[in-house]
């Protein structure tokens, strides 16, 4: 009985937060976005390179990117614009913006905005059966696709010609398991975090 009371209290608090977050003014939205930019920067410092791969590091920032959309809605995309923009000014948040990872940084903006847009607009997307495919799509399409595209052209620009298999071997295959784990973890976190009822202008109110 007491556990049920705590669960109901948690659901009430999360609804109030999301309702406030949706209705609050631009100043608070910007502050929330900036905080998530800082979180992304913090998790970006958790990085390491696999043996034989000095091009693309494994980092924790993808998890922050996914959660930015979950918690901030479409403003999650703004948080990633802040992250990329401030990093471009010289803050040591990520590799050189002209380096091998710039495509992934563009993907972070697209992914966070897309997750935020979908979860704000469709209540059903907040269920686990909607959240899992959403996280996989954003990770392996919206982040990987611009990342791989830019990496391919960048490597060619410095005289390293890669075919598709070679590109996948250095920028996809080593990271699949880790990114699957992060996507699944983000989906379960999102399911627990987002209210399953309308707090804004959803089109499929349940």
pLDDT in tens, the chain (206 residues): 688 999 999 999 999 999 999 999 999 999 999 999 999 999 888 776 666 656 566 778 899 999 999 999 999 999 999 999 998 888 877 655 667 888 999 999 999 999 999 999 999 999 999 999 999 999 999 999 999 999 999 998 988 888 999 999 988 888 888 889 889 999 999 999 999 999 998 988 65
Q: How far apart, in whole angstroms, are the C-alpha atoms of residue 108 and residue 77?
A: 8
Buried/exposed code over 134-162 (b: 16+ C-beta within 10 A; e: otherwise): bbebbbeebbbebbbebbbebbeeeeeeb
pTM as predicted: 0.89
CA distances to 78, 98, 127, 135 from 200, in Å: 19, 39, 17, 22
Find the helix or strand (DSSP H, E) in which 193 lies: helix 176-193
Q: How far apart, in whole angstroms, are the C-alpha atoms of residue 92 and residue 111?
A: 22
Report pLDDT for 174: 83
Report pLDDT for 12: 95
Q: How far apart, in whole angstroms, are the C-alpha atoms of residue 103 and residue 145?
A: 8
* Helix ranges restricted to H, 45-175: 61-72, 75-88, 102-121, 128-137, 144-157, 164-171
CA distances to 46, 100, 101, 171, 198 from 57, in Å: 10, 10, 9, 9, 39
Q: Which domains does the chain have, with CATH numbers?
A: 7-193 (1.10.1760.20)
Report pLDDT for 203: 87
Report pLDDT for 205: 65
């Amino acid at each position: 009985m007491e556990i049920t009371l705590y669960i109901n209290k948690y659901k009430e608090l999360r609804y109030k937060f999301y309702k406030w977050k949706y209705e609050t003014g631009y100043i608070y939205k910007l502050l929330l976005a900036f905080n998530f930019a800082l979180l992304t920067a913090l998790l970006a410092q958790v990085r390491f390179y696999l043996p034989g791969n000095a091009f693309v590091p494994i980092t924790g920032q993808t998890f922050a990117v996914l959660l930015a959309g979950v918690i901030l809605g479409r403003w999650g995309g703004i948080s990633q614009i802040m992250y990329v923009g401030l990093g471009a000014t010289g803050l040591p948040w990520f590799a050189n913006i002209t380096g091998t990872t710039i495509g992934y940084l563009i993907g972070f903006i697209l992914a966070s905005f897309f997750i935020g847009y979908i979860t704000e607009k469709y209540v059903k997307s907040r269920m686990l059966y909607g959240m899992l495919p959403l996280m996989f799509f954003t990770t392996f399409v919206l982040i990987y696709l611009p990342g791989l595209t830019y990496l391919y052209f960048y490597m060619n620009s410095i005289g390293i010609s890669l075919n598709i298999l070679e590109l996948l071997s250095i920028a996809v295959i080593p990271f699949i398991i880790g990114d699957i784990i992060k996507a699944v973890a983000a989906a379960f976190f999102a399911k627990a975090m987002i209210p399953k009822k309308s707090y804004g202008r959803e089109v499929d109110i349940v």
